[in-house]
Each structure stands twice: as C-alpha cells, then as structure tokens.
Amino acid sequence: MDYYKAEEKREEKIKKPLRERKRVPPVRTVLILVLILIAGGALVLFMGSDRLSTLRIKDVIISSVPGQKPTFYHLEIEKNGKEYFLKTKDVFDITYRDEFVIKDVSTSSLFGMGVSVDMEELGIPKAMKVLLKGVDLVDRVMQGEGRGREPAGEYRIRVTYHGEIIAAIPVKVVVTPQDWLRVAKEARSGKSQIESLKQAGELTKSDPQVNKMLAKAYIQEGMHEKAVGEYQKVLKRKPDDVTALAELAKIYLDQKKYNDAVAQYKKILKMKPGDAAAYANMAYAYSGLGNWETAKAAYLESLKRAPDNVTVRYHLAEAYEKTGQSAQAAEQFRIALKGKPGDRAIMTALAASSLKARKYDEAIRIYNELIRKNMKDASLYANLGLAYGGKGKINEEISSYKKALALNPRDATVHFNMAMAYEKKGMAKDAAKEYEKALKLKPDDADALAKIGESYIREKKYSQAIKLYEKAVKKSPKNTGLLANYAYALGEMKKYREAAVYYEKALRQGARDPQIHYNLAYTYDKLGEKRKAIAEYEKYAATRPTMDILSKLADHYMKTNNYSGAVKSYERMIKIQPRKASLYAGLGYAHGLKGNTDKEIDYYRKALRYDMENEDVHLKLGAAYEKKQMWNEALAEYSKAYQLNPDSSRAARKIPQLKIKIIRQKHKET
C-alpha cells in the first residue's frame, strides 16, 4: 500500500538529474559544491557545534562528491503501532501476526537522493512506505518463495544507493507450528497438507493434535501404514487417548486386520464401557473373523445402549442369518424396517430372510412391493419365483421366472430354476431345454450338467448320458453327484468295472448318499466280488435298513458262519416287521447255531404265534427240544408237523423214536 505518492514523484524528479550528473560541466559541479558547503555552514550555525552533527554534515558533503557512497544511519519502522529505529547491528523479527511500514531511511545522502529500500530476498522489490503483513512474508518463506530459501535470520532489509547495497538489516521471519497448521488447513492437495503437517510436527514433537491431523491426512491419501505410525506415537505418550484408539481401530478395520481392531476396541470399552459405537465396530470386526456368535453378542450390547440404531440392528440380523437363525434374522430386519420404513435394502434383506425361513407369504408380499417400486429388477422376479415355488404355486413361479428372464435372459440360475419348475409340472422337454440354456450360459455348472444327465438317464439314453458325464467330470472332478450318475450310466451299459471306479471316486470325495453304497454293492456283486459287496450293503443298511438288504446280509452271514451278524440282521428286520413268523424262525435258527438252545426255542415259539401251521418251524422246534432232552415236548412238535404234512418223512421217523425214548425214560424212573 502506497502512502506517500507525492514523495515518490519528488524522488523521480530528483533521480533524473542524478542520472545525468556525468554530463554536468566542471564549473557547475564546483558551484554545486559551494552551495553544499554554504548549506553545511548554515546547518552548523543552526545546530550548534555538536560533534555528531558536524560529522553528518561532513558525510553529506563527502557523499555529494561523485563516486562516493552515502553513510547509512538507521531505518524508521512502525510495527503494530510502535516505532522502531533499526541500525545494521539490529535484527528485525517478523511473525505472521505482525504488520509494519518502513517509514523512512536515514542516510547522508542529501534529501535521500538515490537511496531506496527493498526486501528482495523475500520478493519485495520496493519496501518503503508500503504496508507489509507478516503473514504474507511467513507464507512466502514457508512456500519457498524467498530467494534461495535462506534460513531464518538471514533475510535482509536492504538499503541501496543507485543499486549498490550500503546497509542490510537482518530479518528473522519466525515460522511457528501454528503457521504450518494454518497452511495445512488451507492446502489444496493432500501431499501439500502432509508436508506442512510434517513441518509442524518437527517444530513441536509433543503435540498429539499434530500427529492426529497428520494421520488423517495420510488416510485421505491412502497411506494407512503411516497413519498407523502417527496414532501409535500419540498412544505411546498417552495410552488412554480414546480418539486415537478409535481412529487406529478404524484403520485396522479398513485393512481387514480384524484381530488388531478387536484389541483396540477392547481397550476403548475398558475406559468407556457404555460406548455403543465401540461395541458395534468390534462386532463388525468379529464378523470379519467369522466369529458370528461373538459378533451377535457385541451387536446386542451395542443395541442395549443405542436401541434405535438401524444400521447395527441390520448387521445383527445378518449375524443371525450367518448362524442359521433365519427366524431371528427376519425379526431383526422387521424392527429395522420400522425404524426406517420403505428402505429398499432392509426390505430386500427381510424378503430374502423370510424366504430362507420358509415364510413364503411374507416374502411374496415384500417382493411384490419392491417390484412396484422398481419394475426393472430381474433379481426381484427371480426371488419371487422361488417364494411362489415354496408355496407350491408352480404357475406363478414359472411366470415370475419368465419376467426375470425377459429382463436378464443370460441368468443361468434362473434358467436352472425354471427347468426345475417345469420338472415339477411334468414338462420334461421344457425342463431339458432350460437346463441346456443354463449349461450354455454356464458351461461349468455342475448342477445343470447333472440335471441334463438325469434327464437322459430317465429316458434311458445311457450312451448320451455317458458322453455328457465324461465331459462333466473332467470339469468338476470332485462333484460327487456327477461321479455317481456317471457310474450309474456306465453300470446300465454293463460297464461294471468302470462303474465301480467312479462310485469309489464319489465316495472318496465325501459322497454321503447311501444309494451310492447300494449301487456299488450291486456292481461288486456283478463283478463277483462278494466280500466287497457285503461291506457296501452293510454301509447302506447302517442308514437305510431295508428288508431286502437285511435279508441279503442275514443270508450271507449264515453262509459264512457269522451267526452273530445274522442275529443282528434278524433283530433289525423284526423291528421293521414285528409280526412276520419267518423272521422269528430265522432268528431262532441263528441262536441255535450259536449254541443258545433256550433262545432258539423261545424264538421258534414266537414264530408259531404268528404262523401255527408252519411245518418247518414245528420240526425245528422239535429238534431244539430234543437237544434239551425234552422228549415229550419234542414228540408234540413232531406230531404237529406230521399232522400238517403226513408225507413228512422226518416227522414220521422221529415220532416212534421219541415214543421209545419216553418209554425207556419212564422205565428208568420206575
């Protein structure tokens, strides 16, 4: 700002003759010197005989001589309303709060001719009578605009005479941490802000606020590890700084370092046990670790303190879903929806949760409501189709899938679900077409491959099924369903050895379908590998104890003298058919072979309760009585057998033999 325009004009008038002084004739120069001497004498008379004044007059006279430099005395500066007179030995301090004006410069130059003042090193070519602000100078120093970036204390106010320096007042531009913080706040780029904050941190190594500001700047630039370092510096000095702990925990969450995040939130909760946000964030970290039970507990603690937090309730519902508690998840979604009515995300989640919980009516209602809000969302129609399918409304299910496919015809899953719906309606050809579309869109879809293969098997197109499964198992060698179906198709083509190989592979890959054990047992039977067949039948019977399989096992055990195995098989069959006489007879016979005649007799008698006219059981019971030397009872059973079948040679032979034994027994007794 220029306060003395008139003075500048005067200087311009003076400067012109000064530049032309080399052309002044010698006579005129002498006259000027004479005038100066007269003026000097007048000054002496006026000022007295003061020695200083005399010296200054001398300086004026000397400096008036061409080629001589004037003497500098002082600068007159007004700073913040206070006057300062600065000499070369002084240092002028400037802070960002200061405002100052260089009002005058005192030299021996007559009328100040040829003298000027600048702060060229700070980018100010004309410094006289201009209002200067410390904040501008501080900013120039901080931004490197000062020429050469001289250290503080080495900037200067220069006094020049016709461009030559005659004096320099040292200037100390004081840069404080607050200056760097101020510049950081005003910075337009993250990198500039970081550099300013680093400078502030260098000046004040114990201010946690600077570390926190720098950490946030690092986060904005994606430099998370450096941000962690700044927060750790804060916590090293102040371990209970909750803000630093919380911000550090958030970084760990962003980096998916969930264990580290949990550790920070535990520290926070020790100091602030009622912090709902800390519980919620810790729950989120636990969910990231897959620890859903602990996550649920933490979400519930958060909701105790902030029950209206819809976001936390939404995440709690997700945690319930992850732990298979669909009903509880749906309930939490309902509560969240009350807090935020019409929220599409919550409605979609609630509909999906209701679908999983088999609450199809609720799912249908919500999906239809969402469809009214967004008619072009194919996924809504696809899920609506699933809900209708759950209700058994196949026509509505198919209609929904068609609408979904109209919006997104390349959705392999919807084609697959459509195929299954067609199957339920008995529309096998349409189902096959949809399975093929699904497979075309997703060639590696094991389910689609399996379904198409199943359709071939149902139609007994085993050779086509084999070709399909041959390709399928190469793409999905661990899909047990594909392996088992491939084996079945091979078996139907009487390729038993290959079939056995793929059944075995399916079981090694963890197949749990008991039917695979049965089919493999049947295949081993065809290959003549009886022991392997029985082992597989046993595995099948362990989960599906059918009469057919148990009977096969009992026969095998009897043939191989495994009477204990036979007993167990008969006992299991009796549980299935407790009123079948032949089972009790078989169980009695097995006990007899084991040497337990009492149980043998007992089960034969039970068999006769359900079939009194079974000749074979009477004969076996008679033989059992014989082993116990119960001749009368044995005779009675053989007699009943003979009555049932007079042609029974065994009964006819045994009856007289037993009568003789009875007579002899009586004779001995008498």
Task: Kindly report, residue by residue over 114-123, the tens digit of the pLDDT.
Answer: 899 999 888 8
Q: Is the per-residue pLDDT at 13 higher than 80?
A: no
Q: How many domains does the chain have?
A: 3
Helix (H, G, I), strand (E, B) or coil at 442: coil
Of 53-67, 213-227, 517-531, the poorest mean pLDDT is in 53-67
Q: Is the per-residue pLDDT at 87 higher than 90?
A: yes
pLDDT of res. 450: 78
Name the β-bridge partners of 559. none
Joined tokens for residue 295:
């996550």
pLDDT of res. 561: 94
Highest mean pLDDT among 55-69, 78-92, 151-165: 78-92
Q: Is the per-residue pLDDT at 656 higher than 80?
A: yes
Highest mean pLDDT among 150-154, 179-183, 235-239, 411-415: 411-415
Joined tokens for residue 230:
């700044």
Q: Is the per-residue pLDDT at 16 higher than 80?
A: no
List Cα–Cα distances, 216 to 230, 247, 539, 553, in angstroms. Answer: 9, 9, 64, 75
pLDDT of res. 44: 44
Q: Is the per-residue pLDDT at 199 higher than 60?
A: yes
List Cα–Cα distances, 535 to 225, 483, 510, 513, in angstroms. Answer: 60, 20, 17, 16
pLDDT of res. 46: 43
629 part of a folded domain: yes
pLDDT of res. 319: 93
pLDDT of res. 581: 94
For residue 356, the one-letter residue type is K
Across the chain, what does the average pLDDT equal? Answer: 84
pLDDT of res. 47: 46
Q: Which domain holds residue 51?
A: 5-175
pLDDT of res. 225: 83
Of 54-63, 102-111, 429-438, 463-472, the poorest mean pLDDT is in 54-63
CB-based contact 213:232 (threshold 8 Å): no
Contacts 24+ apart (CB under 8 A), 252-259: 252/285, 253/281, 253/284, 253/285, 253/288, 254/224, 255/224, 256/288, 258/285, 258/286, 258/288, 258/289, 259/285, 259/289
- Name the helix (H) or strand (E) containing 32: helix 26-47
pLDDT of res. 591: 96
Q: Is the per-residue pLDDT at 255 higher than 90?
A: no
Q: Is the per-residue pLDDT at 290 higher than 80?
A: yes
CB-based contact 236:230 (threshold 8 Å): no
59 part of a folded domain: yes
pTM of structure: 0.51
CB-based contact 415:405 (threshold 8 Å): yes
Q: Is the per-residue pLDDT at 538 higher than 90?
A: yes
405 part of a folded domain: yes
The mean pLDDT of 165-194, rounded to a whole number, is 76
The domain boundary, picked from 175, 194, 209, lies at 175
Task: Please report which residue ranges of 275-323 form alpha helices under DSSP H.
Answer: 276-288, 292-305, 310-322
The domain boundary, picked from 442, 471, 496, lies at 442
The mean pLDDT of 587-591, rounded to a whole number, is 96
Highest mean pLDDT among 30-44, 189-203, 253-267: 253-267
Q: Is the per-residue pLDDT at 191 higher than 80?
A: no
Of 90-99, 447-456, 635-644, the poorest mean pLDDT is in 447-456
The mean pLDDT of 395-411, rounded to a whole number, is 95
Task: Please report which residue ranges of 411-546 form alpha helices under DSSP H.
Answer: 412-424, 428-441, 446-458, 462-475, 480-492, 496-508, 514-526, 530-543
Q: Is the per-residue pLDDT at 151 higher than 90?
A: no
Q: Is the per-residue pLDDT at 150 higher than 60?
A: no
With a CB cutoff of 8 Å and minimum separation 6, the contacts of 94 are 100, 134, 137, 138, 171, 172, 173, 174
Categorize the per-residue pLDDT at 21 as very low, low, confident or very high, splitting at 50, 70 and 90: very low
536 part of a folded domain: no
The domain boundary, picked from 129, 156, 175, lies at 175
488 part of a folded domain: no
574 part of a folded domain: no
CATH of the domain at 411: 1.25.40.10
43 part of a folded domain: yes
Cα torsion 264, 265, 266, 269: sign:
positive
Categorize the per-residue pLDDT at 3 as very low, low, confident or very high, splitting at 50, 70 and 90: very low
Q: Is the per-residue pLDDT at 325 higher than 70?
A: yes
The mean pLDDT of 430-438, rounded to a whole number, is 89
Categorize the per-residue pLDDT at 110 as very low, low, confident or very high, splitting at 50, 70 and 90: confident
Indicate the pairing of strand 99-107 with strand 72-79: antiparallel
The mean pLDDT of 409-433, rounded to a whole number, is 91
330 part of a folded domain: no
CB-based contact 168:157 (threshold 8 Å): yes
